Amino acid sequence: MDKSFLSDPDVIAASRKFVCIRLLSYENKEEAAFLKTFNVGRSGDAENTVFCILSPDAKQRLSRASRGTGQVYGNPKNMAEGMTKIALQYPSVASEAEKIFAVPYVADLRLALNVA
């Protein structure tokens, strides 16, 4: 993704209210199939890079789905404002003690290193 978006201080602050994930579109068939349900490229298949904000249950798109942040929001300011509005619709219910910061799960070390 475009580093000018993801390194923007307002986007960083807004992202703290989200669970940010990176699905493995080519490395995992189930995750690729999930991506294909909301964004299909010109080839008719899931693209390598897809950006979308989903509801907490991952069943509803809360933003457009596209190849990147720029195609969805245009600029970091719009992205931060959009994320802030979305976060207000889904207030957090977890206490500080329940928040767990963990390394993302990947099937095996070889795949994790390959994706990184």
pTM here is: 0.71
C-alpha distance from residue 6 to each of 34, 37, 42, 47, 105 (Å): 24, 25, 26, 20, 21
Measured CA to CA, the distance from residue 34 to residue 14 in angstroms comes to 25
Of 49, 54, 2, nearest to 24 by C-alpha is 49
C-alpha distance from residue 65 to each of 29, 62, 74, 93 (Å): 19, 9, 13, 27
Q: Mean pLDDT across the chain, nearest whole number?
A: 80
**Which pLDDT belongs to residue 106?**
64
Q: What is the pLDDT of residues 68-88, one digit of tens each?
A: 899 999 999 999 999 999 999
User: Bigger pLDDT: 52 or 27?
Assistant: 52
- Region for residue 84 given its phi and psi (left: phi exceeds 0; alpha: psi -120 to 50; beta: otherwise): alpha
**Which pLDDT belongs to residue 41?**
75
Residue partners of 91: CB distance under 8 A and separation at least 6: none
Mean pLDDT (whole number) for 39-68: 84
Q: How many residues does the chain have?
A: 116
